[in-house]
Copies of this chain bind each other. A is one copy, B any other.
Protein backbone atom coordinates (compact mmCIF):
# COMPACT_ATOMS: atom_id res chain seq x y z
CA UNK A 1 0.00 0.00 0.00
CA UNK A 2 1.31 3.40 -0.97
CA UNK A 3 0.26 6.34 1.22
CA UNK A 4 2.83 8.78 -0.12
CA UNK A 5 1.69 12.14 -1.46
CA UNK A 6 4.69 12.31 -3.80
CA UNK A 7 6.52 10.26 -6.38
CA UNK A 8 9.83 8.47 -5.81
CA UNK A 9 12.26 8.47 -8.70
CA UNK A 10 15.24 6.13 -8.76
CA UNK A 11 17.80 8.36 -10.45
CA UNK A 12 20.82 6.18 -10.63
CA UNK A 13 22.08 2.74 -9.78
CA UNK A 14 24.87 2.64 -7.29
CA UNK A 15 28.33 2.85 -8.75
CA UNK A 16 30.06 -0.18 -7.28
CA UNK A 17 33.80 -0.21 -7.66
CA UNK A 18 35.36 -3.59 -7.42
CA UNK A 19 38.06 -3.02 -4.91
CA UNK A 20 37.73 -6.35 -3.14
CA UNK A 21 41.01 -7.76 -4.36
CA UNK A 22 42.99 -4.70 -3.34
CA UNK A 23 41.32 -4.70 0.09
CA UNK A 24 42.43 -8.30 0.53
CA UNK A 25 45.99 -7.28 -0.31
CA UNK A 26 45.84 -4.55 2.33
CA UNK A 27 44.43 -7.06 4.84
CA UNK A 28 47.23 -9.52 4.09
CA UNK A 29 49.87 -6.82 4.50
CA UNK A 30 48.43 -5.70 7.83
CA UNK A 31 48.29 -9.27 9.14
CA UNK A 32 51.88 -9.82 8.08
CA UNK A 33 52.92 -6.61 9.88
CA UNK A 34 50.66 -7.38 12.87
CA UNK A 35 49.18 -3.91 12.60
CA UNK A 36 45.54 -3.56 13.64
CA UNK A 37 43.88 -0.96 11.41
CA UNK A 38 40.72 1.00 12.17
CA UNK A 39 38.80 2.87 9.48
CA UNK A 40 37.27 5.91 11.19
CA UNK A 41 34.34 7.48 9.37
CA UNK A 42 31.97 10.38 10.07
CA UNK A 43 30.35 13.54 8.73
CA UNK A 44 32.37 16.75 8.55
CA UNK A 45 32.65 18.25 12.02
CA UNK A 46 31.50 15.14 13.92
CA UNK A 47 34.74 15.17 15.91
CA UNK A 48 37.00 12.60 14.23
CA UNK A 49 40.24 14.43 14.93
CA UNK A 50 39.33 15.40 18.49
CA UNK A 51 38.41 11.78 19.16
CA UNK A 52 41.65 10.60 17.63
CA UNK A 53 43.75 12.99 19.72
CA UNK A 54 42.19 11.80 22.98
CA UNK A 55 42.39 8.16 21.87
CA UNK A 56 46.08 8.47 21.00
CA UNK A 57 46.80 10.14 24.37
CA UNK A 58 45.07 7.23 26.12
CA UNK A 59 46.90 4.54 24.15
CA UNK A 60 50.28 5.79 23.05
CA UNK A 61 52.09 4.17 25.95
CA UNK A 62 50.40 0.85 25.17
CA UNK A 63 50.64 0.71 21.38
CA UNK A 64 52.94 2.08 18.72
CA UNK A 65 50.42 4.12 16.74
CA UNK A 66 50.32 5.40 13.18
CA UNK A 67 47.71 7.67 11.60
CA UNK A 68 46.69 8.22 7.99
CA UNK A 69 44.79 11.48 7.70
CA UNK A 70 42.67 11.56 4.57
CA UNK A 71 41.48 14.98 3.57
CA UNK A 72 40.22 16.58 0.39
CA UNK A 73 42.83 19.28 0.74
CA UNK A 74 44.71 20.86 3.70
CA UNK A 75 46.93 19.34 6.35
CA UNK A 76 45.24 20.84 9.41
CA UNK A 77 44.49 17.46 11.00
CA UNK A 78 47.88 15.89 10.26
CA UNK A 79 49.55 18.86 11.95
CA UNK A 80 47.40 18.37 15.03
CA UNK A 81 48.15 14.65 15.16
CA UNK A 82 51.87 15.00 14.48
CA UNK A 83 52.18 17.15 17.60
CA UNK A 84 51.34 14.02 19.63
CA UNK A 85 54.56 12.40 18.48
CA UNK A 86 53.00 9.51 16.57
CA UNK A 87 53.78 8.54 12.99
CA UNK A 88 51.38 10.35 10.62
CA UNK A 89 50.84 10.84 6.93
CA UNK A 90 48.46 13.19 5.17
CA UNK A 91 46.59 11.66 2.23
CA UNK A 92 45.03 14.05 -0.24
CA UNK A 93 42.07 12.55 -2.05
CA UNK A 94 42.19 15.32 -4.64
CA UNK A 95 38.48 16.04 -4.37
CA UNK A 96 37.40 12.42 -4.03
CA UNK A 97 34.88 11.77 -1.33
CA UNK A 98 36.17 8.53 0.16
CA UNK A 99 39.20 6.29 0.60
CA UNK A 100 39.30 3.06 -1.36
CA UNK A 101 41.63 0.08 -0.91
CA UNK A 102 44.11 1.26 -3.55
CA UNK A 103 44.49 4.69 -1.94
CA UNK A 104 44.82 2.99 1.45
CA UNK A 105 47.56 0.71 0.15
CA UNK A 106 49.48 3.68 -1.19
CA UNK A 107 48.92 5.48 2.10
CA UNK A 108 50.36 2.52 4.00
CA UNK A 109 53.40 2.52 1.71
CA UNK A 110 53.91 6.19 2.59
CA UNK A 111 53.27 5.74 6.31
CA UNK A 112 55.30 2.54 6.60
CA UNK A 113 53.51 0.09 8.89
CA UNK A 114 56.73 -1.56 10.13
CA UNK A 115 56.76 -1.64 13.92
CA UNK A 116 53.24 -0.22 14.31
CA UNK A 117 50.62 -2.02 16.45
CA UNK A 118 47.66 0.21 15.74
CA UNK A 119 46.85 2.28 12.65
CA UNK A 120 44.00 4.74 12.30
CA UNK A 121 42.71 5.71 8.90
CA UNK A 122 40.79 8.95 9.35
CA UNK A 123 38.53 8.82 6.32
CA UNK A 124 37.09 11.81 4.41
CA UNK A 125 34.26 13.58 6.28
CA UNK A 126 31.30 11.98 4.52
CA UNK A 127 28.51 9.59 5.61
CA UNK A 128 27.86 8.20 2.13
CA UNK A 129 30.74 7.00 -0.04
CA UNK A 130 33.28 5.82 2.55
CA UNK A 131 30.73 3.19 3.64
CA UNK A 132 30.85 1.58 0.20
CA UNK A 133 34.56 0.93 0.06
CA UNK A 134 36.38 -1.78 1.95
CA UNK A 135 39.81 -0.33 2.74
CA UNK A 136 41.14 -3.57 4.23
CA UNK A 137 40.85 -2.23 7.79
CA UNK A 138 40.21 -4.82 10.52
CA UNK A 139 37.41 -2.73 12.02
CA UNK A 140 35.15 0.09 10.88
CA UNK A 141 34.19 2.70 13.43
CA UNK A 142 31.78 5.53 12.74
CA UNK A 143 31.08 8.67 14.69
CA UNK A 144 27.67 10.31 14.73
CA UNK A 145 27.53 13.53 16.72
CA UNK A 146 24.55 14.63 18.79
CA UNK A 147 23.97 17.84 16.77
CA UNK A 148 23.47 15.79 13.58
CA UNK A 149 20.31 14.20 14.94
CA UNK A 150 19.09 10.74 15.93
CA UNK A 151 17.42 10.16 12.53
CA UNK A 152 20.68 9.65 10.64
CA UNK A 153 20.46 5.81 10.52
CA UNK A 154 17.31 6.28 8.43
CA UNK A 155 19.06 8.56 5.95
CA UNK A 156 22.53 7.04 5.66
CA UNK A 157 21.74 3.37 6.32
CA UNK A 158 24.79 1.82 4.68
CA UNK A 159 27.25 3.56 7.00
CA UNK A 160 25.43 2.15 10.05
CA UNK A 161 25.11 -1.27 8.40
CA UNK A 162 28.82 -1.72 7.77
CA UNK A 163 30.24 -0.23 10.99
CA UNK A 164 31.40 -2.41 13.87
CA UNK A 165 31.09 0.40 16.37
CA UNK A 166 28.96 3.55 16.51
CA UNK A 167 30.35 6.31 18.69
CA UNK A 168 27.73 8.93 19.51
CA UNK A 169 29.93 11.94 20.13
CA UNK A 170 29.37 15.38 21.72
CA UNK A 171 27.21 14.06 24.56
CA UNK A 172 28.29 17.24 26.37
CA UNK A 173 25.91 19.19 24.11
CA UNK A 174 22.79 17.19 24.98
CA UNK A 175 21.27 20.13 26.84
CA UNK A 176 20.74 22.05 23.59
CA UNK A 177 19.79 19.22 21.23
CA UNK A 178 16.79 16.97 21.24
CA UNK A 179 18.65 13.69 20.68
CA UNK A 180 17.04 10.37 21.61
CA UNK A 181 19.89 7.92 22.31
CA UNK A 182 17.62 4.89 22.60
CA UNK A 183 15.83 5.67 19.35
CA UNK A 184 19.15 6.21 17.57
CA UNK A 185 20.62 2.96 18.90
CA UNK A 186 17.47 1.06 17.96
CA UNK A 187 17.58 2.45 14.43
CA UNK A 188 21.23 1.50 14.11
CA UNK A 189 20.64 -2.02 15.52
CA UNK A 190 17.72 -2.57 13.17
CA UNK A 191 20.22 -2.15 10.32
CA UNK A 192 23.04 -3.91 12.11
CA UNK A 193 22.20 -6.08 15.15
CA UNK A 194 25.88 -6.57 16.02
CA UNK A 195 26.87 -2.91 16.17
CA UNK A 196 28.38 -1.69 19.44
CA UNK A 197 26.95 1.70 20.45
CA UNK A 198 28.98 3.95 22.75
CA UNK A 199 27.87 7.49 23.66
CA UNK A 200 30.82 9.69 24.61
CA UNK A 201 32.32 13.14 24.55
CA UNK A 202 35.74 13.44 22.95
CA UNK A 203 35.88 16.93 24.44
CA UNK A 204 35.25 16.09 28.12
CA UNK A 205 36.27 12.40 28.05
CA UNK A 206 32.89 11.28 29.32
CA UNK A 207 32.20 7.69 28.20
CA UNK A 208 35.73 7.35 26.85
CA UNK A 209 36.66 4.34 28.97
CA UNK A 210 34.06 2.18 27.21
CA UNK A 211 35.50 3.13 23.81
CA UNK A 212 39.10 2.50 24.84
CA UNK A 213 38.15 -0.87 26.36
CA UNK A 214 36.27 -1.89 23.23
CA UNK A 215 39.20 -0.89 21.03
CA UNK A 216 41.78 -2.77 23.12
CA UNK A 217 39.60 -5.86 23.16
CA UNK A 218 39.17 -5.77 19.39
CA UNK A 219 42.91 -5.35 18.85
CA UNK A 220 43.63 -8.26 21.19
CA UNK A 221 41.04 -10.53 19.55
CA UNK A 222 42.43 -9.69 16.13
CA UNK A 223 46.00 -10.37 17.22
CA UNK A 224 44.94 -13.70 18.71
CA UNK A 225 43.34 -14.64 15.39
CA UNK A 226 46.61 -14.24 13.44
Contact = CB atoms under 8 A, between A and B. Distances in A.
Interface of A: 4-15, 43-45, 70-79, 82, 88-97, 99, 103, 106-107, 110, 124-129, 132, 145, 147-149, 151-152, 154-158, 170, 172-173, 175-177
A97 B71 contact: no
A60 to B, nearest CB: 16
- List the 4 closest pairs (A to B, CB-CB), nearest first: A45-B148, A14-B95, A147-B147, A97-B128
Contact of A158 (B90, B95, B129): B95
Given A9-B106, A11-B103, A44-B156, 17 more contacts: A4-B75, A4-B82, A5-B82, A6-B90, A9-B92, A43-B45, A45-B145, A72-B155, A73-B155, A95-B128, A96-B128, A97-B129, A124-B128, A125-B155, A126-B127, A126-B128, A147-B170
A152 B173 CA distance: 20
B147 A11 contact: no
Which of A9, A75, A124, A127 lies at the interface centre, i.e. has the most chain B CB atoms within 10 A of its CB? A9
B147 A45 contact: yes
Oligomer: number of copies: 2
Contact of A44 (B43, B82, B106): B43
A156 B43 contact: no
A63 to B, nearest CB: 19
A181 to B, nearest CB: 15
A76 B4 contact: no
A149 B92 contact: no
Given A45-B147, A124-B128, A11 B172 contact: no
B93 A11 contact: yes
A195 to B, nearest CB: 18
B155 A75 contact: no
A76 B8 contact: no
B155 A71 contact: yes
Contacts of A155: 44, 71-74, 76-77, 125
Contacts of A125: 43, 127-128, 155-156
Nearest to A92: B10
